[in-house]
């Protein structure tokens, strides 16, 4: 184990004394891979630099937002321009309208959209709209899908309790967790089993990317939409990762799918805090002040965040990097597969997302993902870090390729992956 325990101990110790677990979001702690986190000083393009001056090729990309790479000139310029005008007004701005129109223009199922500050806010607000629109309280989610940390979503079903939600996190009242029913991804029968006349909404990541990358099987999402609508429930696509990453219209556009509500985040803030939820006008018009469903935010539509998001979407629309992103993602997945060789495991991915799972030869749902060898992943992580490759400190997260990754970055990563995999056995 080469994660040097002495390194940065002073800062990390200060962090531990000041912040729960030393971090402001759990996966940053590297707890899952058994090391002390390295502190980041800066990033540029495909590279991230730690406070010791070591440079890495970055495959975390802030967990998705940095699809153009770090400090893309268009984003930096837009931020500088916005900064000159002020950082927050708590009043309407034209740029918010530009960003909303851009989202509506690109994602066909969205007729109106509300900007918020995070993916968490987007999903919890979309759920509130779905409950208000249907007059129902129950929701269905999928084990292993992540929708932020609102109470209703911190439920993945304890063993044997797939039909009645069991809160996974202390502090989630049973009365709230009990309204969440859990189905298995890629398993329509499990959806039918929990859907009912009391279901307000089914929420799903169309491409599950928070248990490692698990693409939907053919017909799964179509069947889910049909089943949900069949009993009067709405469908919420959580495209916080897939939105503007898999295409300009998320996963839903090319797939020809129309959810009732869509949640966005990550990329639409271009590295600043933004989320959004949107859908058909008649649903979104339930939101205050058009309608009675209350949802608000002091910093929502923040000028800096909107400028970064708008510059990111405009650049994506202009440069259309999706074919190139997909080609690099596929090359990375191929390198992982080749390095894996005949060891047990599999590589799954879509577009610029990829995951190497140690153990199972296929991962279709959370059960499969739970069978992975996380200790092996921890050794793999460490061996890659030693070679200047920064990947997610968890088996259950996607690797993110950006437009800033060069073919040479991918080739260098492929070599490192080969050496790292040879070392983890």
| Burial class (CB within 10 angstroms; exposed 0-12, middle 13-18, buried 19+) of 6 | exposed
Tell me whether residue 238 is one of the annotated catalytic residues.
Answer: yes
Q: Least distance (Å) from ligand PLP to the CB of residue 402?
A: 16
Q: Is 238 in the site for ligand PLP (CB under 6 A)?
A: yes
From residue 255 to residue 274, the character string flagging contacts with ligand PLP as x (rule: CB under 6 A) and all else as - is ----------x---------
Q: Is 128 in the site for ligand PLP (CB under 6 A)?
A: no
Q: Is 148 in the site for ligand PLP (CB under 6 A)?
A: yes
* The one catalytic residue among 50, 187, 260, 266: 266
Q: Which stretch binds ligand PLP (CB under 6 A): 10-18, 90-98, 145-153, 211-219?
A: 145-153
Q: Which stretch binds ligand PLP (CB under 6 A): 117-125, 323-331, 365-373, 382-390?
A: 117-125
Q: Least distance (Å) from ligand PLP to the CB of residue 33?
A: 19
Q: Which stretch binds ligand PLP (CB under 6 A): 191-199, 237-245, 285-293, 405-413?
A: 237-245
Q: Which stretch binds ligand PLP (CB under 6 A): 79-87, 223-231, 234-242, 347-355?
A: 234-242
Among 241, 211, 238, 245, CA closest to 352 = 245
Q: Least distance (Å) from ligand PLP to the CB of residue 117?
A: 8
| DSSP states of 78-116 | HHHHHHHH-S--SS--HHHHHHHHHHHHH-TT-SEEEEE
Q: Is 141 in the site for ligand PLP (CB under 6 A)?
A: no
Backbone angles phi, psi at 88, to 5 degrees: -170, 135
Q: Is 147 in the site for ligand PLP (CB under 6 A)?
A: yes
Within 4-98, strands assigned E span 40-44, 47-50, 55-58
- Helix residue ranges, H only, 242-396: 252-255, 281-284, 303-319, 322-340, 366-369, 374-386
* The one catalytic residue among 146, 251, 277, 377: 146
Q: Is 303 in the site for ligand PLP (CB under 6 A)?
A: no
Tell me whether residue 373 is one of the annotated catalytic residues.
Answer: no
Count other C-beta atoms under 10 Å from residue 57's C-beta: 22
User: Residues 6 or more apart from 360 whose CB is under 8 A from it?
Assistant: 344, 345, 346, 368, 369, 371, 372
Q: Least distance (Å) from ligand PLP to the CB of residue 305?
A: 12
- Which contiguous run of DSSP H or E holds residue 358? strand 353-358
Q: Is 397 in the site for ligand PLP (CB under 6 A)?
A: no
Q: Is 120 in the site for ligand PLP (CB under 6 A)?
A: yes
Q: Which two tokens stand for residue 290?
A: 């058009």
From residue 51 to residue 70, the character string flagging contacts with ligand PLP as x (rule: CB under 6 A) and all else as - is --------------------
Q: Is 302 in the site for ligand PLP (CB under 6 A)?
A: no
User: Residues 6 or more apart from 20 whose CB is under 8 A from it?
Assistant: none
Tell me whether residue 266 is one of the annotated catalytic residues.
Answer: yes
Separation CA 138–CA 129 (nearest Å): 13
Question: In a 3-state reduction of DSSP, which class is residue 156?
Answer: coil
Separation CA 334–CA 317 (nearest Å): 28
Q: Is 146 in the site for ligand PLP (CB under 6 A)?
A: yes
Question: In a 3-state reduction of DSSP, which class is residue 261?
Answer: strand
Q: Which stretch binds ligand PLP (CB under 6 A): 144-152, 305-313, 318-326, 400-408?
A: 144-152
Q: Least distance (Å) from ligand PLP to the CB of residue 269?
A: 8
Q: Is 394 in the site for ligand PLP (CB under 6 A)?
A: no
Sign of the torsion angle spanned by Cα atoms 44, 50, 51, 53: negative
Query: Whose CB is nearest to ligand PLP?
Result: 119
User: Residues 6 or more apart from 11 whose CB is under 8 A from it?
Assistant: 39, 51
Q: Which of 69, 119, 212, 271 binds ligand PLP (CB under 6 A)?
A: 119
Q: Which two tokens stand for residue 263?
A: 């949640």
Q: Is 210 in the site for ligand PLP (CB under 6 A)?
A: yes
* The one catalytic residue among 50, 58, 238, 364: 238
Catalytic residues: 146, 238, 266
Q: Residues interacting with ligand PLP, by CB under 6 A?
A: 118-120, 123, 146-148, 205, 210, 238, 240-241, 265, 275
């Amino acid at each position: 184990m080469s994660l040097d325990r002495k390194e940065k101990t002073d800062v990390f110790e200060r962090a531990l004394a000041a912040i729960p677990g030393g971090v402001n979001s759990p996966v940053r702690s590297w707890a899952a891979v058994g090391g002390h986190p390295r502190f980041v000083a800066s990033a540029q393009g495909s590279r991230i630099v730690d406070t010791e001056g070591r440079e890495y090729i970055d495959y975390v990309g802030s967990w998705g937002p940095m699809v153009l790479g770090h400090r893309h000139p268009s984003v930096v310029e837009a931020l500088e321009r916005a900064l000159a005008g002020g950082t927050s007004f708590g009043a309407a701005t034209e740029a918010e309208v530009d960003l909303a129109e851009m989202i509506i223009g690109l994602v066909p199922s969205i007729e109106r959209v509300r900007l918020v500050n995070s993916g968490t806010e987007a999903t919890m607000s979309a759920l509130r709209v779905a409950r208000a629109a249907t007059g129902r309280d129950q929701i269905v989610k999928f084990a292993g899908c992540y929708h932020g940390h609102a109470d209703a979503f911190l439920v993945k079903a304890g063993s044997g309790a797939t039909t009645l939600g069991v809160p996974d996190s202390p502090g989630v009242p049973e009365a709230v967790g009990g309204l969440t029913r859990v189905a298995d991804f890629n398993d329509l029968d499990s959806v039918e089993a929990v859907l009912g006349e009391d279901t307000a909404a089914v929420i799903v990541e169309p491409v599950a990317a928070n248990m490692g990358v698990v693409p939907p099987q053919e017909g799964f999402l179509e069947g889910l939409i049909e089943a949900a609508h069949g009993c009067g429930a709405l469908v919420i696509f959580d495209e916080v990762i897939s939105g503007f990453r898999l295409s300009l219209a998320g996963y839903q556009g090319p797939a020809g799918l129309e959810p009732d509500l869509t949640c966005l985040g990550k990329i639409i803030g271009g590295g600043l805090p933004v989320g959004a939820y949107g859908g058909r006008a008649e649903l979104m018009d339930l939101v205050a002040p058009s309608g009675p469903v209350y949802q608000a935010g002091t910093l929502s539509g923040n000028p800096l965040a909107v400028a970064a998001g708008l510059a990111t979407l405009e650049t994506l629309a202009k440069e259309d990097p999706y074919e190139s992103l997909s080609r690099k993602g596929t090359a990375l997945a191929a390198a992982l597969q080749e390095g894996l060789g005949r060891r047990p495991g599999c590589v799954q991915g879509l577009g610029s997302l990829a995951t190497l799972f140690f153990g199972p030869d296929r991962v279709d749902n959370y059960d499969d993902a739970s069978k992975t060898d996380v200790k092996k992943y921890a050794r793999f992580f460490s061996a890659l870090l030693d070679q200047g490759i920064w990947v997610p400190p968890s088996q259950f997260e996607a690797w993110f390729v950006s437009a800033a990754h060069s073919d040479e970055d991918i080739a260098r990563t492929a070599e490192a992956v080969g050496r790292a995999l040879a070392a983890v056995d």
